[in-house]
Chain A
């Protein structure tokens, strides 16, 4: 395989040299034009070799990072040099033709301008949305009936050498062996609510009223976040702690950067378990601090970004650049709180995190949905979404406004809706919001991901470079869900108005 790669790289190198030779005959190259093309092409070829090599060695993450770090600057360099040299030529030689072309230039084809054909609107095709809705409801019910893990069996399987007696049902509490000196040893099962769903922990407390073991039984969070807290040895900080401690992130518990919400959900599970044991089984007075409404700098920044999304003047040049940079910085890289289909489907399944701990989630998810329902406006897409901002700036740099072939473009909306349906089916059947969340947001802003996600991210980035709002227009499942909600709202309003 690597041999084939070198062969293809050889062909590409030869092709690039022929291109440079032909191009240099047509345009007057200067030293910076040669440098731009030369360095850009070398970077692109190097990134291809890096990417293929890394994938063959079984490290797709390194491959993806290499392609992004070397390939993207290479493409930017080649494109900017190409634009620079061709613009100069057009100005010098064919200015009269350019003027004519600009007059007749049509705006880029957008999904809004592409209407479904008559055949799509009629016949069996018109029933397809209803079939999709019904199948989603069936999958949702099936998932609830067949879902639900047997945590008690998991505990018993882990502690085969211990005598466990279940002494409470909700929450599930096991007593380990016999009580000595009035104090016993307990294992409690508790859960905390994250963005993707509950985070279930077993907490083992011995007769010294201290936590001796904490281990996860189930989680529905994004795998990248779970990976982060595993790597940070987050669980170890609970071992040896008194069950009367506060267990509050930012107070006596250290959060994990880039996985704050997951950390808070996991901490909530341990806190609940420890404090229940303290009151019920160790008869301690509740002396621990209570969780306060979390309203700090992070929440203020998100609130400002959300409110500014409603002000039309902000979304005009030059303020829109500042706004988008803010969104990329705060919603993207700093908080990694972009709305995904995982958060929306989690909401449908009743996984709603506490407002006191997760105000950011409430502002972005509930705020966006409430705005769609009450005002009929989607303020998230093309405004707050940090991934849109990334795409916007990339496309601005390239200046490209390409589109796929018109035949594909006509099917773009059904394809996006079809992917949304597939993702939701998978989420409902598995009861796992992260299972169908194929968006590359989380990994883009945390630089962490799993498996095939590492291939989706570079493709989305390259696509945005050549096509405006590539991901938003063609693939974003959260965007498709918001559009469907908006359409449903319009239908209801029209129906109510006609009565």
Chain B
């Protein structure tokens, strides 16, 4: 039976690597935007607007 472990790994890494980078970027930016929204709300509350 031919050993195609390397090929499998290659295909898996080709498929997931850009996905992980993209997903991590979207996750972090969304989290930052939510924090920014809460900060803005807190600013409005402190400012009395």
| A and B held together in a complex | yes
Q: Which residues of A contact B (CB under 8 A)?
A: 94, 96-97, 100-101, 104, 400, 402-405, 408, 415, 419, 422-423, 426, 429-430, 432, 435-436, 438, 451-453, 455-456, 459-460, 462-463, 466-467, 470, 474-475
A467 touches B23 (CB 8 A): yes
Pick the most buried of B7, B19, B22, B26: most chain A CB atoms within 10 A of its CB: B26
Distance in angstroms from B46 CB to nearest chain A CB is 9
Residue of A nearest to B24 (CB): A404
B31 touches A475 (CB 8 A): yes
Which B residues, 1 to 49, have Cβ-Cβ distances below 8 Å to chain A? 4, 7-8, 11-12, 16, 19-20, 22-24, 26-31, 33-38, 40-42, 44-45
What's the Cα separation between A84 and B4 when bound, in Å?
25
B23 touches A402 (CB 8 A): yes
**Contacts between chains A and B (CB distance < 8 A), count:** 92
What's the Cα separation between A124 and B37 when bound, in Å?
29
What's the Cα separation between A402 and B37 when bound, in Å?
26
Residue of A nearest to B36 (CB): A452
What's the Cα separation between A415 and B8 when bound, in Å?
34
B40 touches A100 (CB 8 A): no
By secondary structure, the B interface counts as: helix
B33 touches A452 (CB 8 A): yes
Which A residues touch B45, using CB under 8 A? 426, 429-430, 432, 435
Distance in angstroms from A442 CB to nearest chain B CB is 13
B22 touches A402 (CB 8 A): yes
A97 touches B4 (CB 8 A): yes
A-B contact pairs, 14 of them (CB 8 A): A97-B4, A97-B7, A100-B4, A402-B16, A404-B24, A404-B27, A404-B28, A419-B38, A430-B41, A435-B41, A452-B40, A453-B37, A460-B30, A467-B26
Residue of B nearest to A457 (CB): B33
Residue of B nearest to A103 (CB): B8
Question: Of the candidates B7, B24, B31, which one forms a contact with A415 in the assembled complex, judged by CB atoms under 8 Å apart?
Answer: B31
What's the Cα separation between A268 and B33 when bound, in Å?
36
Pick the most buried of B11, B35, B41, B44: most chain A CB atoms within 10 A of its CB: B41
Distance in angstroms from A473 CB to nearest chain B CB is 10
A408 touches B24 (CB 8 A): yes
Distance in angstroms from A471 CB to nearest chain B CB is 8
What's the Cα separation between A438 and B41 when bound, in Å?
10
Given A104-B8, A455-B33, check contact A405 B22 (CB 8 Å): no
Distance in angstroms from A297 CB to nearest chain B CB is 35
A426 touches B8 (CB 8 A): no
Question: Of the candidates B8, B29, B42, which one forms a contact with A459 in the assembled complex, judged by CB atoms under 8 Å apart?
Answer: B29
Distance in angstroms from B30 CB to nearest chain A CB is 4
> Could you list 9 further interchain pairs (A-B, Cβ under 8 angstroms) beyond the known A426-B45, A435-B45?
A402-B23, A403-B20, A404-B23, A404-B27, A423-B38, A426-B42, A435-B44, A453-B37, A456-B33
